[in-house]
Amino acid sequence: MFGELWGVIPMAAQTTILAMHSEIVRLQEQLHELQARLRQDSSNSSKPPSLDPLWQRAGRTKKPKSPRLIGAQPGHPGVSRSPLPPTQIDEIVHHSPEQCANCGHALASDDEVECLLKRRQLIELPIIKVNVTEHRMHARSCKTCGKITKAKLPPSFPKTSFGPRLQAEVVHLVANCRLSRRGLVKYAQESWGASISLGSVHRIEQNVSRALEEPYREALETVKAAPVRHVDETGWPQKNKTGWLWTAGCAVATAFTIARSRGKEVFTELFGDAMERGFFVSDRYRAYRVLKMEQRGVCHAHLKRDFVKLEEREGFAHLVGSGLRFQHTLMFEQVRLFKAAELSVGQFRESLEPIKKRMLGLLECGREASDKKLSGMCADILLHWPALWTFASVPGMEPTNNTAERSLRQAVLWRKGSFGTQSEAGSRFVERMLTVTHTCRQNRRNVLDYLVCAVKAAILRKPAPRLILTIPDG
């Protein structure tokens, strides 16, 4: 290592040199690791784009200036608002000229030129003011026996001072429109003329939460019975302690649950016997290893970030990462052609075979490398190798887990504004509102209308309306 002069160097000096060399190697490895951490962003790690440094965001989005002018280009057909149908028009106002603009002659109604009739619609929001109804319960004395009978409220009267639509509006603004509870109190006062306290907002949330208990269970059972489910999890603090929000979705429903742990026991409890049926799309997190590899589909969007991370390293890791990323790009191109109906199922599967072969060879080479980071990542990917290609043989399965990740976006924004939940009851409210909101939108139902119907049913002690109207395939 040190040449012919090594033999003439005193033993003490040799020991010192070897120790210094070992320390230099250690510091170089540490430097490379720190540099790799500094280069981490949303393209090569699980960090969200919002955490990317400003200079990296500016560098990625910077494009050469286009010679085109701002706005619509010449020849653009243009887009205008379509007139609303007569069934949605509340009032029609006629405007007719009284005299000729040329000679001043008076014009009569029989001078109308119908073919030149023009229409303009004005859409306006009426002044919103709460409707307050006072219920007075009288008492009457019986002339026969002398007993006094007091009137009772009808069964449709809610236990709170707020009606079903107002309760639905409150939770809709808090959960789906990301209005803070204090902001809601101000909005209700200024926009509706309603005085609502923070305590009343909390009680309304719990009333609606109880009304959504059965629809929540319906969505969860639908997801369990679906042939393909997308699952993911993100942090959700509870009482200032670590907690996790899990999501599981299928084509017609999405269910959420908040738990103290991110461990496999939560996933096992959530799905129970349904784990033995159907397929799951997820990332490579350890909690999902309780599933059989033949049941799993691994997210290729996560793989893409891992390959970029390898490509940004030095030496052999860079070569392996570049090769894997290139093959991965070819794979996504085949997926695009298949979705565009340019490839049949047989042609699509056949086109993946050479890509799989080359990726397998690169991963096996990386697993045998001396670079621990490279070998560890390649070994983990090879452990999930069968699940990487399940999407090619299972109808309706996507190669990515974007479905689950998109469902978490609203929850993440809610978490940023509320800092999680402070009670178990608050966690149940979050679970049920997220579940009902996402499932309604998947079924193209108006969320607010459904909430109103659910609250009305709860007041009358009747079952909530069905949440899912579409029968899932399989």
Residue 342: the pLDDT is 93
The pLDDT of residue 190:
92
- pLDDT score of 474: 46
Beta bridge partners of 77: none
Q: Look up tokens 């999501």; give the residue.
A: 247
Q: Residue 64, by phi and psi: left (phi above 0), alpha (psi -120 to 50) or beta?
A: beta
pTM of the entire predicted model: 0.80
The distance from CA 406 to its chain's CA centroid, rounded to whole angstroms, is 3
| pLDDT, position 19 | 80
pLDDT tens-place values along the chain, 474 residues long: 556 677 677 777 777 877 887 788 778 777 777 777 777 766 666 666 666 666 565 555 556 777 777 877 887 777 777 888 989 898 999 888 888 888 888 888 887 888 778 888 888 888 888 888 888 999 999 988 889 999 998 887 887 889 999 999 999 999 999 999 999 999 999 999 889 999 999 999 999 999 999 999 999 999 999 999 999 999 999 888 889 999 999 999 999 999 999 899 999 999 999 999 999 999 999 999 999 999 999 999 999 989 988 888 888 989 999 999 999 999 999 999 999 999 999 999 999 999 999 999 999 999 998 888 899 999 999 999 999 999 999 998 999 999 999 999 999 999 988 888 999 999 999 999 999 999 999 999 999 999 999 999 999 899 999 999 865 554
Asked if 431 and 256 touch (Cβ cutoff 8 Å), the reply is: yes
Nearest to 94 by CA among 118, 58, 72, 77: 118
Q: Environment class of residue 429 by beta-carbon count within 10 Å: exposed (0-12), middle (13-18) or buried (19+)?
A: buried
Task: Give the separation between CA 312 and CA 412, rounded to whole angstroms.
Answer: 29
Judge contact between 396 and 250, C-beta under 8 A.
no
